[in-house]
Amino acid sequence: MKILAVSFYYYYGSPKGLEPQFYYLFKVPESLGHEVDFFDYMTAAKISLEHMRRVFLKLLKGGGYDAVFLATHRDEFDFETLDQARKYSRIIAWNSDDEWRWDSYSRNYAPHFDFMVTNSPEIYGRHRNEFPNLLHAQWACTGFWDGRQTVKNIDFSFVGQIYGSRNEQVQFLAGRAGLQFFGKGSGKIPKNLEPKTGLKGLIRNNIRKLMARAGSGQVDDTISFEEVNALWNQSKISFTPLDSSTQEVRQIKSRVFDMGLSGTLMLAHRAPYLDTYYEPGKEYVPFESLEECVEKAEYFLKHESERKQIAEAYARRTLSEHLWEHRIKKVLSGAGLS
């Protein structure tokens, strides 16, 4: 099958790492044997939206694609462009954050795609009759970074972007439970990553250190998805906040599944539907308050056999049910393209 993956290439817009959606929608289908091309619409849109839309349609018209996987973002694609695109291929939208932006964004765009994928069970259950082209597929794990045998030399960590109230959360847990935190907004360059192989990784790390010493004194703290996974692989316990960026709802985020094969114990906020994917107390450990999070982190750092047992069960469930391979096949089948 020939697929065009349409998303961002750079992680947080930084050339130091690749966007997770690139792995989800390009690398995974490619690993399954599909012929996959990639269109970085964010970079193309920097010239102009009109230019990007024109190039997109020209690519589709002559490409002979069976399906287009389009990671939605904002209003980069107008209704007219999407309606025109559907003449050349089946256009499949992959949404995120429908828990809080369905009404303001997704429902308006749904009629202009052949199929729209939501990772929200709530949205799917509530709107599938109104929108027969709505499909449900949750976040998942790529399976590319298996850390189950990696030495765990970080006790308790958070890896991800730090903003808003999350800064207060990680600072509290750092003071009370020794949390180490990494990612954009942390002000830190990780020093304990697994050694990188190849000249490219060595050059990137050296450039980072030089930038950190530069005149402003500011640390370039963006880390790549590869490095994110390396940190998860080395962590005994991973703090997994699930409150949305708007603080309005709790939602299942991609990290719930991304780190599923890392060998870490997922210490996660209680969130709607999470228990349908992983069993609490057996495949992950839930918490409600930060105080409870501290207590459970301290307990499992003192009880390694219990921590390891839950982490192994988490990995087994991920491997059997929650890989991106499973999601891609489900969506293709739902779109009549299996």
What is the arithmetic mean of pLDDT over 265-272? 97
The predicted model scores a pTM of 0.89
Percent of all residues in the chain with a pLDDT value above 90, rounded to a whole number: 80
Joined together, the tokens standing for residue 76 give 């980069």
Residue 70, judged by CB atoms within 10 A of its CB (0-12, 13-18, 19+), counts as: buried
Residue 140, judged by CB atoms within 10 A of its CB (0-12, 13-18, 19+), counts as: buried
Q: Does 250 share its domain with 198?
A: yes
What is the arithmetic mean of pLDDT over 165-186? 92
Higher pLDDT, 116 or 247: 116
> Starting from the edge strand earliest in sequence, which strands make up the sheet with 235-240, in order?
180-182, 154-159, 235-240, 265-269, 285-287
Q: Are strands 35-40 and 2-7 parallel, antiparallel or unpaired?
A: parallel
Domain region containing 92: 2-139+323-334
Domain count within the chain = 2
pLDDT in tens, 21-39: 999 999 999 999 999 999 9
Q: Does 11 share its domain with 39?
A: yes
Beta bridge partners of 2: 35
Answer whether residue 145 is part of any domain: no
Q: Does 311 share its domain with 172?
A: yes
* Three-class secondary structure of residue 332 per DSSP: helix
pLDDT in tens, 107-166: 999 999 999 999 999 999 999 999 999 999 999 999 999 999 999 999 999 999 888 889
Q: How far is CA 269 from CA 243, 253, 266, 323, in A?
A: 8, 11, 10, 22
Q: Does 181 share its domain with 158?
A: yes
Residue 253: is its pLDDT beyond 80?
Answer: yes
Q: Does 175 share its domain with 313?
A: yes
Which pLDDT score is estimated for 192?
Answer: 53
Cα torsion for 205, 170, 238, 155, to the nearest 10°? Answer: 80
**Region for residue 70 given its phi and psi (left: phi exceeds 0; alpha: psi -120 to 50; beta: otherwise):** beta
Answer whether residue 144 is part of any domain: no
Higher pLDDT, 267 or 164: 267
Higher pLDDT, 193 or 33: 33
Q: Does 178 share its domain with 55?
A: no
Q: Does 317 share its domain with 174?
A: yes
Q: Does 134 share its domain with 160?
A: no
Which pLDDT score is estimated for 81?
Answer: 98
* Three-class secondary structure of residue 64 per DSSP: coil
Residue 233: is its pLDDT beyond 70?
Answer: yes
pLDDT in tens, 281-329: 999 999 999 999 999 999 999 999 999 999 999 999 999 999 999 999 9
What would the DSSP string read from start to end of 180-230?
A: EEESTTS----S-PPPPPSHHHHHHHHHHHHHHTSTT--------HHHHHH
H or E stretch including 55? helix 49-63
Q: Does 305 share its domain with 215?
A: yes
Nearest one of 143, 139, 100 to 256, comparing CA atoms: 139
Angle at 143 between CA 142 and CA 146, to 5 degrees: 135
Q: How far is CA 262 from CA 68, 150, 309, 337, in A?
A: 30, 8, 13, 32
Contact 29, 69 (CB under 8 A): yes
Q: Does 122 share its domain with 225?
A: no
Question: What CATH number is associated with residue 15?
Answer: 3.40.50.2000
Answer whether residue 146 is part of any domain: no
Q: How far is CA 301 from CA 191, 192, 253, 263, in A?
A: 22, 19, 24, 14
Residue 190: is its pLDDT beyond 90?
Answer: no
Nearest one of 98, 235, 240, 237 to 160, comparing CA atoms: 240
Nearest one of 301, 260, 267, 263 to 281, comparing CA atoms: 267
pLDDT in tens, 60-115: 999 999 999 999 999 999 999 999 999 999 999 999 999 999 999 999 999 999 99
